[in-house]
């Protein structure tokens, strides 16, 4: 798939999909210039605060809470798990070297970043609130 097709696939997979923490946040597409290294400094070096906390977590760890099926889940909860499963599959199937970065404290920006077959760096951004 081309970068444009992958971006479109990610947009489709995240329509009306919210990441829930203490608040609900949508996903947005993020892109970087071709050739940028997938390091925190290269990706986030232009952020205002040089002391900004940046952590890396695995894609599995990020998605784990929303992929667990509980005994009490009904159709709506099961459909949501399916949407997250489909999103995870779209990411894993179309992006290489996927990394998840947590940027900041309390209101934390989450970046799911990977390389397309065209060599572009694209991904998704959302937020979590942890107080």
Which of 41-55, 88-102, 115-129 comes out lowest in average pLDDT? 41-55
Task: Note the pLDDT of residue 48.
Answer: 65
Per-residue pLDDT of 21-40, as tens digits, reads: 888 999 999 999 888 888 88
Token pair listed for 110 = 């989450």
Question: Domain 3-129 carries which CATH code?
Answer: 3.40.1460.10
The answer to whether the CB of 87 falls within 8 A of the CB of 17 is: yes
Q: Give the pLDDT confidence of 62-84 residue by residue, as tens digits.
A: 999 999 999 999 999 999 999 99
State if pTM tops 0.85: yes
Question: Is residue 43's pLDDT more than 70?
Answer: yes
Residue for token pair 């937020």: 127
Please, are residues 54 and 103 in contact by the beta-carbon 8 Å criterion?
yes
The torsion region of residue 117 among left (phi > 0), alpha (psi -120 to 50) and beta comes to alpha
Cβ-contact 30, 39 below 8 angstroms: no
Domain assignments of the chain as residue spans, ordered by start = 3-129
């Amino acid at each position: 798939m081309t970068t444009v097709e992958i971006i479109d696939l990610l947009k489709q997979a995240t329509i009306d999909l919210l990441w829930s923490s203490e608040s609900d946040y949508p996903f947005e597409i993020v892109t970087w210039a071709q050739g940028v290294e997938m390091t925190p400094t290269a990706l986030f070096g232009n952020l205002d605060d040089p002391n900004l906390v940046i952590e890396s977590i695995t894609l599995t760890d990020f998605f784990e809470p929303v992929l667990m099926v509980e005994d009490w889940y009904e159709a709506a909860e099961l459909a949501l798990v399916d949407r997250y499963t489909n999103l995870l599959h779209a990411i894993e199937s179309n992006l290489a070297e996927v990394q998840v970065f947590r940027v900041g404290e309390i209101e934390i920006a989450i970046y799911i970043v990977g390389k397309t077959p065209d060599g572009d760096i694209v991904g998704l951004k959302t937020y979590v609130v942890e107080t």
